[in-house]
Amino acid sequence: MSLTVKDYLEKVEKVRDLPTLPVIFTELANMLSDTNSSVHDVEHLMESDQSLTMRVLKVANSAYYRVSDRVTNIGEAVNYLGFDKLKKVALSSSILSIFKGRTVTAFDINSFWKHGVGVAVASGTIAKYVGMEEHETPYVCGLVHDIGKIVNYMLDAETFIEVAQYALDNKIDLVAAEKSQDYPRHDVLGYYVCKHWKLSKYILATVGHHHQENVDARAIKSEQLNRVIDVVIVANKITHDRKFGFSGHSSSTLPSPEILERVGIPPADLPRVVEMIEQEWKSAEGILKVLES
């Protein structure tokens, strides 16, 4: 018997006692999906969180950027890194802070985190490649798409690891393992948790449907929402296939020609897109190292 909505809502109740996503992440994520927000709004928000400011300055001052003068405030960091990069660093590091300091055994949070960043970078690259006006929304959605796994892990680490092991042993993906073990599905649980955290409709749609390739089955009318979901599905598959990070299972399949066409990538262009994504990952890896240190 599979879990009911009531079962999921009970889980969400339990999440209330867990450390929530940092407020700054929620605000930044919503601000970045709102095209009306200015550089000043985002700067102002970042400055309100001291530990975030510290981390952004650490990246700006790292050998990675080889900045000659010391960057001492967010305004200077905008000049050196560029506003686009700065927002992404801020967003990634704000969500990283909930994972930090957790003891882990079989489930490696750092590799999991790397998977999220990998899918974010791939989603942003695909969005740019196909000429979507808005590439920050797919980036944010890619970053958090598997948040339900973290919630499952936080609620019951032991069972989560058992299910992940089952997926590995049977060479299936985590959703298939969750289904067959009657365990909360990370996409469904993630959806309810993000709703509870009042994240944007784009995040809700992607978190909830990133394993649903069939558009009709999603029952979402908005073309824009469906497109972002599709971009993240393609990004997730590429990230698994190229083994950038680890999300709890090792099964991978390449995106189907149908979904590639829906996104706007002629299937013959896929190798070129993957190459571009790999270039972007190289630079993301440098930032990840600084943030993890």
Q: Give me the residues that bind Fe ion (CB under 5 A), please.
A: 146, 236, 247
The smaller minimum CB distance to Fe ion, of residues 86 and 288, is found at 288
The smaller minimum CB distance to Fe ion, of residues 176 and 270, is found at 176
Q: How far is the CB of 136 from Fe ion (least distance, A)?
A: 19
Give yes or no for a contact between 122 and 235, defined as CB atoms under 8 angstroms apart.
Answer: yes
Q: How far is the CB of 56 from Fe ion (least distance, A)?
A: 26
The smaller minimum CB distance to Fe ion, of residues 88 and 240, is found at 240
The smaller minimum CB distance to Fe ion, of residues 62 and 212, is found at 212
Give yes or no for a contact between 52 and 93, defined as CB atoms under 8 angstroms apart.
Answer: yes
Q: How far is the CB of 50 from Fe ion (least distance, A)?
A: 31
Q: Angle at which helices 201-209 and 136-144 pack, to 10 degrees?
A: 50
Q: How far is the CB of 275 from Fe ion (least distance, A)?
A: 21
The smaller minimum CB distance to Fe ion, of residues 22 and 118, is found at 118
Q: How far is the CB of 86 from Fe ion (least distance, A)?
A: 25
The smaller minimum CB distance to Fe ion, of residues 112 and 129, is found at 112
Q: How far is the CB of 142 from Fe ion (least distance, A)?
A: 9
Q: How far is the CB of 177 from Fe ion (least distance, A)?
A: 11
Give yes or no for a contact between 245 and 118, defined as CB atoms under 8 angstroms apart.
Answer: yes
The smaller minimum CB distance to Fe ion, of residues 175 and 270, is found at 175
Q: Angle at which helices 109-129 and 270-292 pack, to 10 degrees?
A: 140
Give yes or no for a contact between 219 and 41, defined as CB atoms under 8 angstroms apart.
Answer: no
Tokens 């605000």 correspond to what residue? 27
The smaller minimum CB distance to Fe ion, of residues 74 and 229, is found at 229
How buried is residue 159: exposed, middle or buried, by Cβ count under 10 Å (0-12/13-18/19+)? middle
Write the single-letter amino acid at 42. Answer: V
Q: How far is the CB of 87 from Fe ion (least distance, A)?
A: 22
Question: 148: Cβ–Cβ under 8 A, 6 or more apart, which residues?
Answer: 184, 185, 186, 187, 188, 189, 190, 191, 193, 207
The greatest distance separating any two alpha carbons of the chain, rounded to the nearest whole angstrom, comes to: 61
Give yes or no for a contact between 227 and 135, defined as CB atoms under 8 angstroms apart.
Answer: no
Query: Dihedral through CA 79, CA 83, CA 89, CA 95, nearest 10?
Result: 130
Write the single-letter amino acid at 197. Answer: W
